[in-house]
């Protein structure tokens, strides 16, 4: 591994976080101004919602082929491509009032969102080892809640400051993307992992049994976590809360998620037991899911906090730590995390429609509660099976982890 100071590595990580926050802000920017965008493009709210959901489709389609490209080009070059795509997509959106062109611009932006997780984890695992890698991974998971908090609170103010120009948000994110591109170009380095000359295929990824089982668990996890995040407003409304109050309780998920990711990263780094942490997250997720069917004033905050700690904290952080460690070779970290990312987005894609259908028009949350509980049980089973397979196959932890660590757990 190239010799790079710890301060330089954390500086590069700060740039990666900045890029990740920009990408997530771009993904989420439609939500707080849905009505304004609908009026601007002269379409109904259902069509406007497609501008957000297209990101999920892009994640499912692009994660695996994009991650194979990471293995060939190196994560730094791919990050530059992602920031360029983010810039171009936002400029396209800023210059059009046509819905089809706006959809096309969101597809371009979606490419950056689809691949930032495998790129970020590849860079983290090329920069850090052991506890530092776990801590950085935990911090990296909070890019989405930070972006959520910023964009939800800043969007309308930015539109007002620009005289009602909705496109000010597009221009702002385009400018930030350009800044991130320049910072990555000048300061970020691949350390120890460059482009691979070995031909990497999807077949190779799918032959990694512990990884594939872990990815199925990730789909179960994202089904529950993102289902809760998107459906909490309806769940609280079903329990009789006013829309403003329901939105407040929902926003606590992102607020709690910021410290949870950092703390869980520290805990996993110190204990070096990501499989155990993921198992605890799954069991806690089952408790949260069961509780959805019988929420009350005394459990609203506890349930949201539980989803942040067990699913968003221990669950997601553990998965992001484990996938690189289960990679067959350090150069294939992008491939492993790309496959995990595809399953992550697959779970998101089906969660809200399935849970909404089971809620029967928000008239009952018993059936959705059962579905989420079963999904958490599936997550637990996948974690335990993946752990057993990794031990049986004698699969070592990612090679950059110190030899004294030994195995994935």
Q: Are 109 and 27 in contact (CB under 8 A)?
A: yes
Q: Kindly state the tokens that stand for 335.
A: 């491939």
Cα distances from 212 to residues 125, 219, 350, 351, in angstroms, run: 20, 11, 19, 20
Q: How many CB atoms lie within 10 A of CB 132?
A: 17
Q: What local confidence, expressed as pLDDT, does residue 155 receive?
A: 84
C-alpha torsion 216→282→322→388, nearest 10: -80
Q: What local confidence, expressed as pLDDT, does residue 401 receive?
A: 41
Question: How far, in Å, CA of 102 to CA of 219, rounded?
Answer: 29
Q: What local confidence, expressed as pLDDT, does residue 219 receive?
A: 97
Question: How far, in Å, CA of 364 to CA of 7, rounded?
Answer: 52
pLDDT in tens, 158-170: 988 999 899 999 9
Q: What local confidence, expressed as pLDDT, does residue 405 receive?
A: 35
Tell me which architecture the domain covering 6-187 has in CATH. Up-down Bundle (1.20)
> Which CATH number is 202-392's, of 1.10.287.3510, 3.40.50.450, 1.20.1250.20, 1.25.40.10?
1.20.1250.20
**DSSP state, 307?**
I
- H/E element, 38: helix 34-41
pLDDT by residue for the chain (409 residues), tens digit each? 456 788 999 999 999 999 999 999 998 888 788 888 999 999 987 788 788 778 788 888 888 888 778 777 888 999 999 999 999 999 999 999 999 999 999 999 988 988 899 899 989 988 998 889 999 999 999 998 888 888 877 888 898 899 989 999 999 999 999 999 999 999 998 875 544 545 555 666 778 899 999 999 999 999 999 889 888 888 998 999 987 788 788 878 888 988 999 999 999 999 999 999 999 999 999 999 999 999 999 999 999 999 999 999 999 999 999 998 898 777 677 788 889 999 999 998 888 889 988 999 889 999 999 999 999 999 999 999 999 999 887 754 444 443 333 345 6
* CB-based contacts of 237, cutoff 8 Å, min separation 6: 243, 246, 362
6-187 shares its CATH topology with 202-392: yes
What are the domain boundaries of the chain? 6-187, 202-392
Closest CA to 315 of 343, 288, 283: 283
pLDDT in tens, 168-199: 999 999 999 999 999 999 999 887 554 454 55
Question: How far, in Å, CA of 336 to CA of 204, rounded?
Answer: 10
Q: What local confidence, expressed as pLDDT, does residue 230 receive?
A: 80
Question: How far, in Å, CA of 36 to CA of 156, rounded?
Answer: 10
Q: What local confidence, expressed as pLDDT, does residue 50 receive?
A: 82
Q: Are 115 and 338 in contact (CB under 8 A)?
A: yes
Identify the burial level of 254 via C-beta atoms within 10 angstroms of its C-beta, where 0-12 means exposed, 13-18 middle and 19 or more buried: buried
Q: What local confidence, expressed as pLDDT, does residue 331 receive?
A: 65
In the block, which residue shows the tokens 């609280």?
236
Q: Model pTM?
A: 0.82
Q: What is the 3-state secondary structure (H, E, C) of 102-166?
A: HHHHHHHHHHHHHHHHHHHHHHHHHHCCHHHHHHHHHHHCCHHHHHHHHHHHHHHHHHHHCCCCC
Give the helix ranges, DSSP H, for 162-201.
Answer: 168-187
Q: What local confidence, expressed as pLDDT, does residue 192 receive?
A: 57
């Amino acid at each position: 591994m190239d010799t790079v100071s710890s301060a330089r590595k954390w500086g590069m990580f700060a740039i990666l976080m900045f890029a990740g926050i920009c990408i997530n802000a771009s993904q989420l920017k439609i939500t707080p101004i849905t009505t304004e965008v609908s009026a601007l493009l002269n379409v109904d709210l259902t069509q406007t919602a497609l501008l957000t959901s297209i990101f999920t489709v892009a994640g499912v389609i692009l994660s695996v082929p994009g991650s194979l490209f990471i293995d060939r080009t190196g994560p730094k070059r791919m990050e530059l491509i992602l920031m360029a795509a983010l810039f171009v997509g936002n400029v396209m959106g800023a210059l059009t009032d046509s819905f089809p062109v706006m959809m096309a611009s969101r597809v371009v932006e979606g490419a950056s969102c689809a691949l930032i997780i495998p790129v970020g984890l590849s860079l983290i695992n090329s920069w850090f080892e052991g506890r530092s890698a776990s801590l950085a991974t935990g911090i990296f998971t909070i890019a989405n809640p930070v972006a959520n908090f910023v964009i939800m609170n800043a969007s309308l103010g930015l539109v007002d400051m620009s005289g009602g120009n909705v496109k000010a948000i597009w221009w702002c994110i385009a400018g930030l993307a350009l800044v991130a591109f320049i910072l990555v170009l000048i300061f970020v380095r691949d350390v120890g992992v460059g482009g691979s000359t070995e031909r990497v295929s999807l077949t190779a990824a799918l032959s990694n049994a512990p990884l594939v089982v872990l990815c199925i668990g990730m789909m179960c996890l994202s089904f529950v976590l993102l289902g809760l995040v998107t459906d909490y407003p309806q769940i609280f409304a079903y329990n009789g809360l006013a829309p403003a109050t329901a939105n407040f309780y929902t926003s606590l998920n992102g607020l709690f998620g910021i410290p949870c990711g950092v703390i869980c990263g520290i805990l996993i780094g110190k204990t070096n037991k990501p499989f155990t942490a993921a198992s605890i997250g799954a069991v806690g997720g089952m408790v949260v899911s069961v509780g959805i069917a019988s929420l009350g004033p005394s459990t609203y905050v506890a349930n949201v906090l539980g989803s942040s700690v067990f699913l968003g904290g221990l669950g997601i952080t553990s998965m992001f730590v484990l996938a690189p460690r289960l990679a067959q070779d350090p150069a294939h970290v992008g491939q492993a995390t790309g496959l995990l990312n595809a399953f992550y987005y697959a779970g998101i894609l089906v969660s809200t429609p399935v849970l909404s259908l089971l809620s029967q028009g928000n008239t009952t949350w018993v059936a959705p509660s059962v579905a989420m509980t079963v999904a958490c049980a599936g997550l637990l089973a996948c974690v335990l099976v993946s752990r057993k397979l990794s031990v049986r196959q004698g699969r070592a932890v990612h090679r950059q982890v110190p030899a004294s660590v030994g195995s994935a757990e």
